[in-house]
Amino acid sequence: MTKEFRTIKTEIRLPYELAYGETWTRFFEGLQEKKIYGNTCPKCNRVLVPARAFCPRCFVDMDKWIEVSQEGTLVAWCYTNYKYYGMPTEPPFIGALIRLDGTDVNFLHLIGGIDLSDFDEVRKVVKNGMKLRAVWNEDRKAHIMDIRYFEPV
Amino acid sequence: MGRPVAIIGVGQTYHGRRMDVSYPELVREAVMAVFKETGLAPDDIDGVVSGTMPSMMEGIALTHFYFADAMQAAGKPIMKTETCGSTGVSIAHTAYYWVASGVADLVLAVGHEKMNEGNSQATMTTVAEPFYQRYFISGAPGVFSMQSQMWTARYGIPEEKTRDAAAFISVTHHDDAFDNPYAHIKMKVSMDDVKNARIITYPVRLLDVCPNSDGACAVIFASEKMVKKLKLKPAWVKGVGYRGEEYFFGDSDKVVWEAAIQAAKQAYDQAGIKNPRKELDVAEVYNPFTFQEMLFYECFGFCELGESPDLVLKGTFTRKGELPCDPSGGVLCTNPIGATGLIRVAEAALQVTGKAGAHQVPGAKLALAHAMGGVDQFNGIMILGSEL
């Protein structure tokens, strides 16, 4: 066995205060009121959700705000069963891309309302193309987790 | 494309858990290897490019300052290039453009990472902003698993077939790594081992995922004038391509993945490649996850969309197949992220100069190197050939 060399343990903690800006202040305050807002690009006419300040493809300011459906279709999902330092969501959980009805991009959130303890059972329930609906937390803070998860309709 | 540019030497560390050396010492190991290989000295070098994955991984900001001594860069132009997983190919591109533009004749490119000193998935999570995406992506495996899951669903590929093809890729790459002296994971695995491994992020299981590696890679890019003067066997840069796309994961299609398709097309157009599966002799595809490797085969035009599992199971992409992919064992067996893309470029250079040793693809003349990065946002390609 070769000699073990010394290591130093160190940690960096830095506080940040990040600005939402006008558009995301409105979007996240909408979540507090149990509403999911998107907006429309005047050039490509796509409905983007979350609402954006500008279109990431056309680079123009977004204009018309619309409250989008709280139901959508499952596009992709992933059952997470491992943990790392600072992980913001407790595993096991299902991350998912959901196409909310009437929108043109996939909304990233969680699938819940089903038993996640046994993966084989999860596999039987969760299917691409299934309909999902938003479930809200009672205590809402104008935060993305004001939506607790999306559950099967 | 500017002036002709060639790679005239590569150096790698022995990748793995390298707590036997400090981080600058690890970087020095790769840099000394390329100077030894080429017979060049620091005075010959016009500029130095280096890079890592996001600095949260290192715990030290601006690593090109920290490693300046290890890279023997005092008194030279020095630049850091950082594009997450595709950093290594971006470093190669930066060095290439410096030489192609005529501002430099010899450029040292160095990629490095000590994955075992920090926390890779906690770092990856900081790539996602904390307003919206950070809660859902569960590090790299979460993102790439969602992409893979979307891919199998899109084409209606039976789950058992993708499972078999992914396991086949894992088994063959793990076998290949035994012939690469620098590879990290050297482990015999069976199809059953892979298929029954613990689920990390469904459909990805433990043996579908790359390791956390420590390692560095150094590559010297040279002008045509220096190639002639030094009389070192060149790997000529035949094409480069790079594409990014929108930041949000849900904003663009990751199955018919335009960033990958267009990066490859740009490089193919420059290299004059029309039928990549026939014309390329070998490819080093960035493959930290077995499933994702198949998606890249399709986006790079190695086969039709949705067809890759069939060809994988036929052996089309094994070392004895029509287009050997990742004969080094690839990212699946070795992943020091800031070095990984540059290792793909280095391996491609070794192949077209006939220096790949036990994992040499006989007679290889044209090779593709690739890396991918961000939350499925960036793709970079470099094509190398034995002839100008």
Best interface-test mutation with A: which of B136, B152, B376 has the largest number of A CBs within 10 A?
B136
In a domain, A65, yes or no: yes
In a domain, B164, yes or no: no
pLDDT at B1: 77
In a domain, A15, yes or no: no
Q: What is the CATH number of the domain that holds B261?
A: 3.40.47.10
In a domain, A2, yes or no: no
Assess contact for B364 and B325: CB atoms under 8 A.
no
Q: What number of CA atoms fall less than 13 Å from residue B339's CA on the CB side?
A: 34
Residue-wise pLDDT for A48-96, tens only, equals: 999 999 999 999 999 899 999 999 999 999 999 888 888 888 899 999 9
Q: What is the ipTM of this complex?
A: 0.94
Query: Cα separation of B110 and B66, whole Å?
Result: 13
Domain of residue A38 covers 21-152
In a domain, B130, yes or no: no
Best interface-test mutation with B: which of A11, A82, A123, A146 has the largest number of B CBs within 10 A?
A82
If one counts every other C-beta atom within 10 angstroms of the C-beta of residue B2, the result is: 11
In this complex, do A128 and B150 lie within 8 Å of one another by their Cβ atoms? yes
Please compute the mean of the pLDDT values over residues B297-309 and round it to a whole number.
Answer: 98
pLDDT at A84: 87
Residue-wise pLDDT for B138-186, tens only, equals: 788 888 999 999 999 999 999 899 999 999 999 999 999 999 999 999 9
Residue-wise pLDDT for B80-119, tens only, equals: 999 999 999 999 999 999 999 999 999 999 999 999 999 9
Buried b (16+ CB within 10 A) or exposed e, B64-83: bebbbebbbbeebebebbbb
Residue-wise pLDDT for B116-142, tens only, equals: 999 998 898 889 999 999 999 878 888
pLDDT at A1: 53
Query: Cα separation of B189 and B172, whole Å?
Result: 9
Total domains present in chain B: 1
In a domain, B375, yes or no: yes
The residue to which tokens 């890396």 are assigned: B371
> Which two structure tokens, joined as six digits, stand for A148?
């607790």
**A56 vs B contacts (CB less than 8 Å):** 246-248, 251
Total domains present in chain A: 1
Above 90 in pLDDT, residue A120? no
Local confidence band at B205 (pLDDT 50, 70, 90 cut-offs): very high
pLDDT at B135: 93
Local confidence band at B198 (pLDDT 50, 70, 90 cut-offs): very high
Mean pLDDT of chain B: 96
pLDDT at A87: 87
In a domain, A68, yes or no: yes
Query: Cα separation of A83 and A87, whole Å?
Result: 7
Contacts of A33 (CB under 8 A, 6+ apart): none
Above 70 in pLDDT, residue A2? no
A91 reaches B (C-beta below 8 A) = yes
In a domain, A13, yes or no: no
Assess contact for B6 and B236: CB atoms under 8 A.
yes
In a domain, B265, yes or no: yes
Task: Output the furthest CA–CA distance in chain B (Å, rounded).
Answer: 58
A54 reaches B (C-beta below 8 A) = no
Assess contact for B226 and B8: CB atoms under 8 A.
yes
Nearest CA-CA distance, residue A42 and chain B, Å: 17
Domain of residue B378 covers 5-120+211-385
Q: Dihedral angle at the C-alpha atoms of A151, B200, B213, B367, nearest 10 degrees?
A: -80
In a domain, B332, yes or no: yes
Query: Cα separation of B6 and B223, whole Å?
Result: 6
